[in-house]
Structure 1
């Protein structure tokens, strides 16, 4: 605190909200600190009693936090409340918010001076997108994924860090991503994602090129809103740690797959109240595994567990981080002495460093790079490679069956606009927009003009916001105190209203045509299934409609049927009566991409089909009258997420990516 005088008025924070923002915690936490740890908060005197509004001084809070006794009481670094990284589209968008910050500093912890300042150079400047950098064990080579000069398909490439042309190792029509070097540098493992399958294949090949070998099938991390690492080698180079379904069908878990094609065996068992374990990284000595485990509150935290020589866990995992916002992409550095990870801070991703034994507090790597989610540290920790890959999407309108060209109606420089939804009268459009450093729900007129933000991103927006039948409200996914729930907000903006409070994940809501019910997807009974509840918000009356797994129910125009996806991604379209009954498939429709990539019209279903969705897609319509599907249009674009048909069935809104880029940069003298 200053030596003379009282704190100035400019030093004052005048509400719990301002105090919480300054300390980078939520309001409940700082209120608890006042009660249990002596946080210096003042109250104005009203009628002779201290019952008025609270206020605090920054200088007093700083002094309190510097106190060793108080710092021990509150634990590790404060951080922002859990934000947006449960969905991959939002992770990628918000990561780019840091790009504008520039390269302004270097590692400042520990306090000793660095021998050399960091040096940033561009490694790749090829056409298209280069991503997923991975250093070889000796740090001299870099493997990465690139969609090639024609930008048509992602394959695995290798190049020397010091220079030279890239060598292409794969040429499969599927998407080959996320390469990882074996401990001796002789092999590369990578993930192969088919365009038509919801699962990934784990592949291995010689690092110099040659025959590929399929090792196992793996869950796609993007289905759980996770970014990686996707794979980790065992110390002996004879196995890989991969992702599989956990004890519960909606859990993700880690499994050990051997190169001899034996059935993968479970490595760890996540707690029953957790979404699971993911994102493994093995220490250079091969005897310690760091991974992420979802806590009961929903945030993913870094854990470590020692391993035996044959890769079996020795004891229970130990939790390393306690970030309210959770963490991403744990990585080893400095020959295993340090752990690096990402966590959200003030709307941007920040790289943090922690001693691998858990001693001390995490410390930021201060703006060395635009710390997106796609990066790797060299084994010695001296170099860091990252990709600045990003894209933006715009919303288009096309007249169905007319053969006319599509018209762009919503476009924002540097933003990702997606999940459009016509209002019931067709006069307005609601849509999601990621505009770094945040995201939100916007409403514009049907031409895309006069947009207003009606809800800011305090949580996860993955499924579209859906209109009430009278057009007065929108219902959407929200995250409240770390839990995914259903919320509603006025179509003109204002305070949103939380409708569900269950500790399970409640997702993808939509209104019934009569406005009396809200359908939603929930795993409150185990697997993700279709539920409904009164639109009034009486959650006690929520009922499960079917034992069938399902996502994103939408009611038919006549109010007699609901249509929903059988899987979170790339699955069959299903239907059932609103009053309950048997579940049936809808023709031979196979949804492309996310489970909400379909639209229910008065006389049919509009959906997307493509054998190469990175390059083009077709719009198809399934007619209720004769059960036949007809092609309506084709576009040489990459589809984003969400479709919406106008109330008269004549117009379709769809989002498409307009620009993708991504180069790989090298930071030398990183540590």
Structure 2
């Protein structure tokens, strides 16, 4: 039942094997959990009519056929979205989702079930409230309004709007005693459950009814108040409401009977941590970089939009209210971090141009004096972490421009800093330090590429480093457990972006503690209590075409992916065909749309990797691209006709930015081999890789004359390389100065035209510009307010642009963690 129900309630009715295994068998090892999943699917296919067709395997994804189940909550969801009240099966749903059903020791599944039950209740309340308001507006609707109000109270006895409707209707009917009883029952519930009293509107209504009872009959013309304020249909952002299918119980009952004698139970862990109820702190269209105070009551965060044009730090409470602006400097203020006693706040400040090292500043919020306590050597931004004694701040920096980042400890009094780690020369480096509650261990991310990282801990007393994860996936957030026994981190290591916990002081596997309903990003935890603050993100995109006038339109018949799925990283072949990276079928792979702009088709097998930067060969037959898997970013080539994928590089360094020579015999690319970014060249089959440039280039392009252009690591602009004997030699020529180094993916060359991004310093606005490389003419083309920083646009043969249209939203949420012995 659990497996069928979970699939039926997911967007697209699909989930990855890893996600299902982790949810249903959380304490089994990965091999055993996947074996259990295979057994369960096999039994389901046997006991369910058309089981082989109902449960489909698509690579690492398991999909439940869309028309295979009838879900009554589908109608509930559709009715909630309707602009006017419509009939919906609200009254048919009298029980709880999966009522009286449970799986022993599957705590994640139990947490997921609790969230889904609450979501269904919210759906029912929203629809019943709409029905009640419409019944109040009709002269003959009193009887049905009473029934609806009682149904609302059956779901939530503390809904005061429904209580007020009942009180008014009873009074209108001359039943003032019944109206007063409704008030007394509410007051007693509020006192016992919340230690509160009824709202002022409810108290006033009660007083009016009491007074009218003493002086005259209850009013017959008084219109009942609206039942409730508008309530959202869901309590969790960015996800559709739960669906409970009619046929789930039949198939699942057979499954339970078949599994009765099987060994599907797992051992209970010594302590289980689960997410408690969620509280929304704010909703935004930008990252918030949150930092919670030690007592868990205050949140410091950043915003570019509250005061547009300036990146500042703001302070707010969990209880709501307007944020307090802490910084007003025209520079970019970022990365807030609280001292252990909650008295001071540290943050970084970078010049508005974003092209200089940051300074580390300390202040006493909300309006204390700012004091510069240190400076970065090379990086323009870094996360900060205070030592418990308040004497030191940990941060990430480069010993020199171009080197990998390392961790440093800053003495707050003297301003001196010293390195604590030295990361391998071929990788991006160490970042995101966070200190343990006792100050003895430093957790951090060792990033092998911009899409892959692992969690490490450094024992500050012994100087030893230990690796906690080894799969090299995307990791966004990292923070300590209040007990100091482990760390929380957000990662896509199970396919979706979930919340995980890893033991820091002993060996052991990381445990998933979220149920996959939210896409977790940055995390922060309170020192004094089990409170976790995190970003839940909705982030998806598609491709649009922009003509010379900047008018955007869809690309042929390419449909917008389902919400939560994306198309990005496009390139156009000489024959007009389009290749893009997409996860529209649940896994990242290459998709091709022909020159006729028809439906795209999958062009590659599933690699279980993060894909980026696809590039067509001159003959439109092959596609070179970057795939990050197992922590390493390497180059691959896909054959358009067969879909076969061949690896071209397999070294420890981060490889990127593939481009073909004009004859298709060679590939140029950038790599960190040797410790610095530079351009390399190899044969089209991956052999004969040799350095081509001097150190510095992060991305490379070639014009129609064979000239080589590059964006340099840590330096602004697009540069032309001087060549001698088919190698770089001599000075580089600056072609355009406005291209930011962190926009290294957002530029392209089509024949003799250079396309690049000119952004505002805060990154919120800007334009794509076109420069004639022969004549030098430079003109503005298209606004870039929604162009991803780490994405790429492409140029069609007709000179129009392919842009990534992004839909991004962030909710900052708070939860008090629940520990179960």
Category of TM-score, reference length = shorter chain: 0.7 to 0.9
Is structure 2 residue 605 aligned with structure 1 residue 460? no
Corresponding position of 1:398:
546
Structure 1 gaps, min length 5: 1-17, 25-32, 34-38, 41-54, 62-79, 82-96, 223-228, 308-312
Distance in 2, matches of 1:360 and 1:598, equals: 44
SS in structure 2 of the partner of residue 157 of structure 1: strand
- Alpha-carbon distance change, 177 to 110 in structure 1, aligned in 2, over 3 angstroms: farther
Q: Is the 8 A contact 1:277 1:293 kept in 2?
A: yes
Corresponding position of 1:203:
361
Corresponding position of 1:288:
441
Distance in 2, matches of 1:176 and 1:577, equals: 41
Structure 2 gaps, min length 5: 1-15, 23-28, 41-58, 61-235, 244-266
SS in structure 2 of the partner of residue 525 of structure 1: helix
Q: 2:744 aligns with which of 581, 584, 595?
A: 595
Corresponding position of 2:6:
none
Shift of 1:507: 1.5
Distance in 1, matches of 2:308 and 2:675, equals: 41
Corresponding position of 1:314:
462
- Alpha-carbon distance change, 263 to 557 in structure 1, aligned in 2, over 3 angstroms: farther
SS in structure 2 of the partner of residue 165 of structure 1: strand
Corresponding position of 1:225:
none
Q: 2:387 aligns with which of 234, 250, 253?
A: 234
Distance in 1, matches of 2:759 and 2:314, equals: 26
CA deviation map 1:87-140 (0-9, x unaligned) = xxxxxxxxxx99649899xxx9745688x9821122224x54462222111222
Name which one, 1 or 2, has greater alpha-carbon Rg. Answer: 2
Matches for 1:237-386 after TM superposition, within 5 Å: 237-245=390-398, 249-260=402-413, 262-270=415-423, 275-293=428-446, 300-307=453-460, 313-323=461-471, 325=473, 329-358=477-506, 361-367=509-515, 370-386=518-534
Distance in 2, matches of 1:478 and 1:117, equals: 33
- Alpha-carbon distance change, 155 to 201 in structure 1, aligned in 2, over 3 angstroms: same
Using the size of structure 1 for normalisation, the TM-score is 0.74
The two structures, once aligned, show a CA RMSD in angstroms of: 4.0
- Alpha-carbon distance change, 435 to 186 in structure 1, aligned in 2, over 3 angstroms: farther
Is structure 2 residue 646 aligned with structure 1 residue 646? no
Q: Which has the higher contact order (CA 8 A, sep 6+)?
A: 1
Shift of 1:232: 0.9
CA deviation map 1:524-561 (0-9, x unaligned) = 233111011111332xx2221122311222221123x1
- Alpha-carbon distance change, 22 to 568 in structure 1, aligned in 2, over 3 angstroms: farther
Distance in 1, matches of 2:441 and 2:412, equals: 21
Distance in 1, matches of 2:762 and 2:324, equals: 25
- Alpha-carbon distance change, 250 to 636 in structure 1, aligned in 2, over 3 angstroms: closer
Distance in 2, matches of 1:606 and 1:591, equals: 10
- Alpha-carbon distance change, 258 to 492 in structure 1, aligned in 2, over 3 angstroms: farther
Distance in 1, matches of 2:463 and 2:301, equals: 35
Is structure 2 residue 188 aligned with structure 1 residue 188? no
Using the size of structure 2 for normalisation, the TM-score is 0.61
Corresponding position of 2:681:
532
Distance in 1, matches of 2:607 and 2:762, equals: 28
Distance in 1, matches of 2:714 and 2:347, equals: 23
Corresponding position of 1:542:
689
Q: 1:664 aligns with which of 812, 818, 821?
A: 812
Q: Whose helix fraction is larger, Structure 1's or Structure 2's?
A: 2
Q: 1:555 aligns with which of 702, 711, 717?
A: 702
Matches for 1:514-533 after TM superposition, within 5 Å: 514-533=663-682
Shift of 1:603: 2.8
Corresponding position of 2:638:
489
Q: Whose strand fraction is larger, Structure 1's or Structure 2's?
A: 1
Shift of 1:594: 2.4
Number of residue pairs matched by the alignment: 568
Q: 1:421 aligns with which of 555, 571, 576?
A: 571
Q: Is the 8 A contact 1:519 1:553 kept in 2?
A: yes
Higher mean Cα deviation, 169-178 or 550-559? 169-178
Q: 2:626 aligns with which of 477, 497, 502?
A: 477
CA deviation map 1:482-531 (0-9, x unaligned) = 43211001235622111123332221111011111100111223311101
Corresponding position of 1:144:
301
CA deviation map 1:314-357 (0-9, x unaligned) = 33223444456486533212342442233434302332334442
CA deviation map 1:130-189 (0-9, x unaligned) = 622221112221112233347655431111223332211123445433321112212212
Is structure 2 residue 165 aligned with structure 1 residue 165? no
- Alpha-carbon distance change, 59 to 516 in structure 1, aligned in 2, over 3 angstroms: closer
- Alpha-carbon distance change, 637 to 323 in structure 1, aligned in 2, over 3 angstroms: closer
SS in structure 2 of the partner of residue 143 of structure 1: strand
Corresponding position of 2:252:
none
